[in-house]
Amino acid sequence: MSHRHHVAALLLLALAATGAARAFGQDAGVHPDHMGSHGVGHAEMHDHYKAWHPPDNPKTSCCNNADCRPTRAYVDENGIWRAWNGLLWLVVPPERTLPTDFAGDGRSHLCENKGYIYCFTPGPPRS
């Protein structure tokens, strides 16, 4: 491989890594290794979170001062949302799912404690 082709390949690899980092929240000020962990990123969105309620229980809050945070999420092969809680990919019950981009920032968010999901909102689809 010529030097020019090697440099071009490295540039393409760097661009792909940058895109992947953005997709997993690195640009959001949350380190990707901690994305979804309990309490990480809660403070920046607390004013939004405190007004959230599970769709099936409007009298209960989703937020308990650190339960909600930005996270990574995906739809599995069965059409079920999965959200990362910092340790595990949790299955999101449909009755706990808020509308897409409910936080208005283009990211997925999870309100969860010890594996119990209070609320989840998926980010909008990415192309």
Residue type, 113: N
DSSP 97: B
> Cα separation of 98 and 62, whole Å?
11
> Cα separation of 89 and 73, whole Å?
8
Q: What is the pTM of this model?
A: 0.68
Structural contact between residues 14 and 7, judged by C-beta atoms closer than 8 angstroms? no
Run of H or E residues at 101: none
Identify the bridge partners of residue 16 per DSSP, sorted by sequence position.
none
- pLDDT digit of tens for each residue in the chain (127 aa)? 554 444 334 333 433 433 443 444 433 444 455 656 555 655 577 777 888 988 888 888 888 776 889 999 999 999 999 999 999 999 999 999 999 999 999 999 999 989 999 999 999 987 5
| DSSP reduced 3-state for 16 | helix
Parse the chain into domains and list their residue ranges: 3-121
